[in-house]
């Protein structure tokens, strides 16, 4: 500010007239102020990076994982890629201008395929999202790869008195035995879930939902039947759990519909993490976590008062 005052040259006010001089002084002060503002804000703008949520990660992992990547960026999204132990396996490009223009749906959504090739054991999975400014979102996960096939149709001999029982393998077609109630189970499940409706807004990649309003979540579940990955059978159960302030609350399960599709409408009054979870017949678990922020509208706050 001392530099600004020194450079005002108050003598010009007298020579050019009061109004003209004051206009010149005002313009110079405003110019210096804007320059300082840009200098202060530019590091923040440059440091902005996309945020993303990744569904479909399995641990342990077998075969090919199908990842579901939802991302948000202020400058528009370009691509998402995945590596396993540093080897790039798949890249997908977002729709042109995704999240940059109001007409283009946000978040941007793409799928990535991850064949768990190579040796079994602890592996490093890395998902990278790049936006149009060159900024990156990177998520790193340590997963256990287990592609060693179990022995085919093992025979377990159980002593019962003087006789024996030779259990027979489960009949094909459902990927595993039927639990009580007849609901089918799923072998080596792969699950994807995402928010299928536009939220009130996104803040740092987390959707803000209106308190008490129902929002639709959709997804897909696939299982192994024989040696092929197919859509989960209709009626397969998917657990729903909520993590609220560190406590886990079990909610009613949802069922798979036609073609392995999942659809459910949920409404909440407080912020939480929604966990969709499937336990496979082999004991492996597929889960998707979606963090949501719940807010009240101005009308709701007024009514509550």
One domain, residues 123 and 217: no
Residue 161 domain-assigned (yes or no): no
How confident is the model over 152-202, as pLDDT tens digits?
Answer: 444 343 334 434 334 444 333 333 334 444 567 788 898 888 888 888 888
One domain, residues 241 and 260: yes
Q: Shortest CA distance to 167 belongs to which of 150, 154, 178, 149? A: 154
Starting at the edge strand found earlier in the chain, the sheet holding 87-93 runs 87-93, 77-84, 121-131, 136-145
One domain, residues 9 and 75: no
Residues 246 and 273: their CA atoms lie apart, in Å, by: 10
Number of structural domains found in the chain: 3
One domain, residues 16 and 85: no
Please say whether the beta carbons of 298 and 211 come within 8 A.
no
Look at the pTM and tell me if it is higher than 0.85.
Answer: no
One domain, residues 184 and 224: yes
One domain, residues 17 and 121: no
Query: Where are the alpha helices (H) located in the chain, listed in sequence order?
Result: 2-6, 11-16, 18-47, 298-304
How confident is the model over 1-54, as pLDDT tens digits?
Answer: 444 444 445 444 455 555 555 565 555 655 555 555 544 444 444 446 788 888
Give the CATH number, domain containing residue 304: 2.60.40.2470
One domain, residues 199 and 81: no
Residue 66 domain-assigned (yes or no): yes
Q: How far is CA 251 from the centre of its chain?
A: 21
One domain, residues 256 and 181: yes
One domain, residues 176 and 287: yes
State the residue range of the domain holding 96: 48-148
C-alpha pair distances (Å), 238 with each of 10, 87, 215, 219, 278: 76, 33, 18, 11, 5
Q: Tell me the average pLDDT across 86-103.
A: 78
């Amino acid at each position: 500010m001392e530099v600004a005052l020194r450079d005002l040259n108050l003598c010009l006010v007298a020579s050019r007239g009061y109004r003209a001089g004051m206009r010149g002084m005002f313009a110079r002060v405003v110019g210096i102020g804007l320059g300082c503002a840009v200098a202060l804000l530019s590091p923040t703008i440059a440091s902005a990076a996309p945020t993303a949520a990744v569904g479909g990660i399995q641990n342990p992992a077998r075969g090919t994982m199908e990842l579901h990547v939802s991302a948000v960026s202020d400058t528009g999204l370009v691509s998402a890629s995945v590596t396993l132990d540093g080897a790039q396996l798949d890249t997908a490009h977002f729709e042109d201008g995704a999240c940059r223009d109001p007409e283009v749906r946000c978040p941007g959504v793409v799928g990535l395929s991850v064949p768990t090739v190579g040796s079994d054991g602890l592996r490093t999975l890395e998902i990278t999202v790049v936006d149009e400014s060159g900024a990156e979102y990177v998520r790193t996960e340590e997963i256990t790869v287990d592609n060693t096939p179990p022995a085919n149709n093992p025979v377990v001999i159980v002593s019962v008195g003087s006789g024996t029982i030779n259990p027979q393998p489960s009949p094909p077609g459902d990927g595993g035995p039927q639990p009580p109630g007849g609901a089918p189970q799923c072998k080596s499940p792969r699950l994807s879930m995402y928010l299928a409706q536009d939220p009130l807004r996104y803040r740092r990649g987390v959707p803000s939902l209106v308190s008490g309003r129902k929002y639709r979540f959709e997804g897909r579940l696939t299982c192994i039947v024989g040696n092929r990955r197919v859509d989960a059978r209709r009626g397969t159960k998917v657990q729903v759990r909520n993590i609220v302030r560190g406590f886990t609350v079990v909610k009613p399960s949802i069922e798979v519909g036609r073609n392995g599709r999942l659809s459910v409408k949920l409404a909440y009054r407080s912020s939480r993490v929604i966990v969709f979870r499937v336990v496979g017949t082999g004991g492996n678990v597929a889960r998707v976590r979606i963090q949501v922020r719940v807010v009240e509208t101005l009308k709701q706050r007024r009514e509550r008062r």
